[in-house]
Amino acid sequence: MPEKHYLNATYGIRSWLLTTDHKRIALLYLASVTFFFFIGGFFAMMIRLHLLTPNGFLLTPDMYNRMFTMHGVTMVFFFLIPSIPAILGNFLIPIMIGAKDLAFPKINLLSWYIYVVGGLFTLWSMVNGGLDTGWTFYTPFSTLYSNSAVAPAVVGVFITGFSSILTGLNFLVTVHTMRAPGMTWFRLPLFVWAHYATSIVMILGTPVIAITLGLAAMERVFGLGFFNPAMGGDPILFQHLFWFYSHPAVYIMILPAMGVISELIPTFARKRLFGYHFVAAASLAIAVIGFVVWTHHMFLTGQSTYAAVAFSFLTFIVAIPSAIKTFNWTATLFGGSISFDTPMLYAFGFLGLFMIGGLTGLFLGALGVDINIHDTYFVVAHFHYIMVGGAVMGYLGGLHFWWPKITGRMYPEWLARIAAFILFIGFNFTFFPQFILGIMGMPRRYHTYPPEFQIYNVMSTAGASILAIGYLLPMVYLTWAAFYGKVAGDNPWPATGLEWKTQSPPLTENFEVTPVVTWEAYDFHNRPDLELDVPSGKGSPGVVAPAHGDD
Amino acid sequence: MSEHEHTEHIVSPGTYLVIILTLLALTGITVFAAFVDLGRFNIVVALLIATIKATLVVLIFMHAKYAPERTKLVIIAGIFWLALLLFMTLSDYATRVDYRGVRYPLTQIISHAIERRG
Amino acid sequence: MHRTGALYGQFKTLEQQKDTATLGMWIFLVTEVMFFGGIMLAYTINRHTYFHAFAMGSNTLSLGLGGFNTVVLLASSFTMAMAVWSSQTSKKGLITLFLSLTIFLGFVFFGVKYVEYAQKFHHHLVPGKNFDIFYCVNNPAKCSDIDAADMAKEKEELEVAAKADPDLNAHAQLYYSAYFGMTGLHALHMVIGAGLLFWLLKESVAGKFNAEWNNPVDIVGLYWHFVDIVWIYLFPLLYLIDRHK
């Protein structure tokens, strides 16, 4: 372990709570995001336990509404949206571009405090009346009729939105103005491109949900009438405004995970990423096109059929850049030296599960089909395949991959592989039956169901308990590894990014001397400093020996 | 690639004076135009004048005219996204056959076309 | 506490720092465009659907006060631009003068807004239980600030509007929702701007700004101009609907 690094540079609680070091802020986020993940997981457990029987023995209908609402609100706003950007993005982006910190370190810390305050507001509302409107807060139920703590919850989400906006702002400006000499746009790691695209979505989308929730809160508290039919207002307007953000929000959740995968696959296939420029462009395309598909959440509201056709078409178009990325990742594997370290296991899991989740999105985007499967468990399965099978796999893969950099120590490899398998199996048992339930017609957000659906619900709940173990294991061993794991060294994999040229854990200022970049991204063949077993000579690129992790 | 090599362009007070007088004049024209019956074009004229005023403020008061290309891209992106929000949402309302008894012009065109087809 | 003009650790040059902060403010303003854009959308759809109610509501606003406030804000943009110029040319006294003028004009705006809002409360034009668009014509004694000629005009307009829209009272609340929502958000942003201006004033009096370092004045100026642009749109949208009747 190096003598001096960002973890032991200064001591005391003030040095953590008042830090402006992006790496410490990332760890602050890790702690708070994990806390909210547990809370969201608790609500998930309540849902799945209740759904073991068709007549719901565990919860009253009102309580059930609160469970799925608070599960959604917590997981979407307090786990999925911040997770990779605020933890891995914060930690890695400055190092990956050769900078000492983000452009606005104090705003970065403010971002975290805003997240915490928003989270506490929302938490308070959860224990003081709860929230039963669905995470989508549809009006007029949320504004006029719900008896739950809508106003404080909405305020909490509103506040947390600013955390997202400030993080996105920080990332955008940092990538523009803080790159080290020689770090041109097309030498940037795709992780950075992914976060750049994500930041565009954060900046352009989040303010719209802010005003939407603000208007809903003002309607509930002060009697403004935009969504109130009695005054001539339109609940569908709320849905337009809500989904204008909330659809791009799902790209906030998946783009960073795709960025992680773009780092993992070249590293563990020992091969340059296939089609770097296309993957970078695809990230931007997803961000942009993602803004013009939102009414596919509203196909059954009575909206204009002509508009629905246009949005359905655009929904099919937005799948194309994702497909391009998936093909490029797969092409990267072809002819590579593949090793199955834990991060790579998560990457493989991502590839398969994201593909299923993404393709089922196309079923939902088809107008005729959507009439039958809208608001059924098909939708629930679809988005869990992408958000858990995709985003969370990316998150865990990234955590494992960069854990040695963050802590200076390796996690236990075999235990981690077992945990990854448990997670994969548990995940599929939880959510695949839900596709079947959806096609059979089981509606979502209902506290009871016809008895013929029970077998699949029981399977799903059983799977969820296995999935829970798959989540708990990394939390335990990653924490253990941070203190007692094997010392990792600068570059245990080895991987090609600039972050692997610093010590593990890095110095507070990241680099003693500002690096000058002269190499391309993922270029395993021209990096003698990595001491890889590279066949010499011109002609065919030759195969590089596989990654060896901690051996 | 550092994109920040530009010397600061200082706009003169004289220019600012011309702009503020123009803005005040345009305000007067807006109010005057509001009292002329232009039917459905009243709003068009009002928004047009407002946009000219806003453009002057952005270009001269906010120095966008002398800003790096990147800044101009940010501004255009912002305006474009606002347009996306407004026009894509209106595409729903404007093409509904009957929204609250009000027919948007576009809907009327579509409805007439359908009716004529039989 | 940071010291204005000092080079922060993550930057290499003052130029980079300035460039970064300016880009940051522009991106932030884009978020504000989208923020106001949401309520603009609500306004747009409802104005089209309930044109008579919106026209009626707009005509209850004082064109004089609204126009005056527009002039005040435009002038404050001018004084703000002059403050930036003064800092670029190291004229310390003028920086303080122009910042003070900008703050003063901002407060004039608040004062007029307060008068307008108070009037609306008094006339039962705030959305909610007490809302009644017919309140003043039915109770002229209670609305003594409207003179007889204007009262007659309003009564006539109300009759026409009520015939065109039988649910006028309900729909008019949508206009006032837009009015209070948009001007309220705008005023909130101005309050934040005023706070920033006070901070700038303090720093300028302490001599912190000159040709070498004037970035904070510049970026607060950007924010203030944006708030002015919002009002440039709000004025015709709220005050000038169907005035030619």
The 10s digit of each residue's pLDDT in A344-370 is 999 999 999 999 999 999 999 999 999
- Rounded to whole angstroms, how far apart are CA atoms A443 and A384? 16
CB contact under 8 A, A306 and B110: yes
DSSP class of residue A338 equals -
| Assigned token pair, A335 | 């002819």
Q: Indicate the average pLDDT of chain C.
A: 92
- Rounded to whole angstroms, how far apart are CA atoms C74 and C81? 11
Nearest to C83 by CA among B16, A178, A472, A323: B16
Distance (Å) from the alpha carbon of B95 to chain A's nearest alpha carbon: 6
On whether any CB of chain C is under 8 Å from the CB of A213, the answer is: no
- Write out the E strands in chain C: none
Closest partner residue to B86 (CB to CB) among C18, C37, C89 is C37
Interface of C with B in 61-80 (CB under 8 A): 63, 67, 70-71, 74-75, 77-78, 80
Residue among A169, A170, A208, A211 with most chain C CBs within 10 A, to mutate: A211
| Model confidence at C231: pLDDT above 90 | yes
| Assigned token pair, A249 | 């929000």
Q: In sequence order, what are the beta bridge partners of A487?
A: A409
On whether any CB of chain C is under 8 Å from the CB of A177, the answer is: yes
| Model confidence at B44: pLDDT above 50 | yes
**Cβ B50 vs Cβ C239: under 8 Å:** no
Closest partner residue to A303 (CB to CB) among B70, B81, B92 is B92
- Residue A153: the pLDDT is 96
Stronger pLDDT, A30 or B6, i.e. the higher one: A30
As a whole number, mean pLDDT of residues A109-127 equals 96
pLDDT tier at B100, thresholds 50, 70, 90: low
DSSP class of residue A309 equals H
Closest partner residue to B36 (CB to CB) among C85, C233, C244 is C244
Distance (Å) from the alpha carbon of A136 to chain B's nearest alpha carbon: 18
DSSP class of residue A142 equals I
Burial class of residue B45, CB neighbours in 10 A (0-12, 13-18, 19+): middle
pLDDT tier at C3, thresholds 50, 70, 90: low
> How many CB pairs below 8 Å do chains B and C form together?
133
As a whole number, mean pLDDT of residues A133-160 equals 95
Can you give A199-265 as a three-state secondary structure string?
HHHHHHHHHHHHHHHHHHHHHHHHCCCCCCHHHCCCHHHHHHHHHHHHHHHHHHHHHHHHHHHHHHH
- Rounded to whole angstroms, how far apart are CA atoms A348 and A340? 9
Closest partner residue to A207 (CB to CB) among C31, C42, C167 is C31
The 10s digit of each residue's pLDDT in A287-301 is 999 999 999 999 999
- Rounded to whole angstroms, how far apart are CA atoms A219 and A226? 8
CB contact under 8 A, B3 and A204: no
Distance (Å) from the alpha carbon of B18 to chain C's nearest alpha carbon: 10
| Model confidence at A20: pLDDT above 70 | yes
- Rounded to whole angstroms, how far apart are CA atoms B39 and B42? 6
- Write out the E strands in C154-240: none
Nearest to A318 by CA among A295, A349, A285, A294: A285
- Rounded to whole angstroms, how far apart are CA atoms A154 and C96? 41
As a whole number, mean pLDDT of residues A542-551 equals 62
The 10s digit of each residue's pLDDT in A149-165 is 999 999 999 999 999 99
- Residue A543: the pLDDT is 67
Q: For the residues of A430-471, what is the DSSP string, one character each?
A: HHHHHHHHHHHTPBTT-S---GGGHHHHHHHHHHHHHHHHHH
| Assigned token pair, B71 | 């800044």
| Assigned token pair, C18 | 């300035």
- Rounded to whole angstroms, how far apart are CA atoms A324 and A193? 15
**Residue of chain A minimizing CA distance to B74:** A200
**Other CB atoms within 10 A of residue B67 CB:** 19
- Residue A146: the pLDDT is 94
- Rounded to whole angstroms, how far apart are CA atoms A456 and A435? 10
**Cβ C181 vs Cβ C146: under 8 Å:** no
* Three-state DSSP state, A376: strand
The 10s digit of each residue's pLDDT in C29-65 is 999 999 999 999 999 999 988 999 999 999 999 999 9
The 10s digit of each residue's pLDDT in A429-474 is 999 999 999 999 999 999 999 999 999 999 999 999 999 999 999 9
The 10s digit of each residue's pLDDT in C55-100 is 999 999 999 999 999 999 999 999 999 999 999 999 999 999 999 9
pLDDT tier at A536, thresholds 50, 70, 90: low
DSSP class of residue A295 equals G
> Which other chains touch chain B, taking contact as 3+ CB pairs less than 8 Å apart?
A, C
pLDDT tier at A535, thresholds 50, 70, 90: low
Q: Which residue has the tokens 């924010």?
A: C223
CA dihedral A532, A537, A540, A543 (to 10 degrees): -20
The 10s digit of each residue's pLDDT in A405-416 is 999 999 999 999
In this structure, of A128-132, A342-346, A542-546, the range with the lowest mean pLDDT score is A542-546
Q: What are phi and psi of A393, to 5 degrees?
A: -60, -40
| Assigned token pair, C183 | 């001007």
Nearest to A200 by CA among B79, B72, C31: C31
CA dihedral A58, A64, A68, A71 (to 10 degrees): -60
- Rounded to whole angstroms, how far apart are CA atoms A54 and A180? 60
AA identity, residue A450: P
Assess whether the previous peptide bond of A248 is cis (omega < 30° from 0). no
- Rounded to whole angstroms, how far apart are CA atoms C88 and C212? 8
Instruction: Say what angle helices C168-205 and C215-234 make with each other, to 10 degrees.
Output: 160
**Cβ C198 vs Cβ C103: under 8 Å:** yes
Nearest to A202 by CA among A36, A360, A89: A89
> Which other chains touch chain A, taking contact as 3+ CB pairs less than 8 Å apart?
B, C
| Model confidence at C116: pLDDT above 80 | yes
CB contact under 8 A, C9 and A509: yes
| Model confidence at C241: pLDDT above 70 | yes
Closest partner residue to C127 (CB to CB) among A210, A225, A240 is A225
Q: Which residue has the tokens 């077992």?
A: A418
- Rounded to whole angstroms, how far apart are CA atoms A392 and A471? 10
- Residue B118: the pLDDT is 52
AA identity, residue A280: A
As a whole number, mean pLDDT of residues A224-244 equals 93
Nearest to A91 by CA among A153, A171, A162, A146: A171
Record the pTM.
0.94
Taking every pair of Cα atoms in chain C, the longest distance, rounded to a whole number of angstroms, is: 69
**Cβ C234 vs Cβ C186: under 8 Å:** yes
Dihedral sign of CA atoms A224, A230, A232, A238 in order: positive
CB contact under 8 A, B57 and C237: no
Residue among B1, B40, B61, B102 with most chain C CBs within 10 A, to mutate: B61
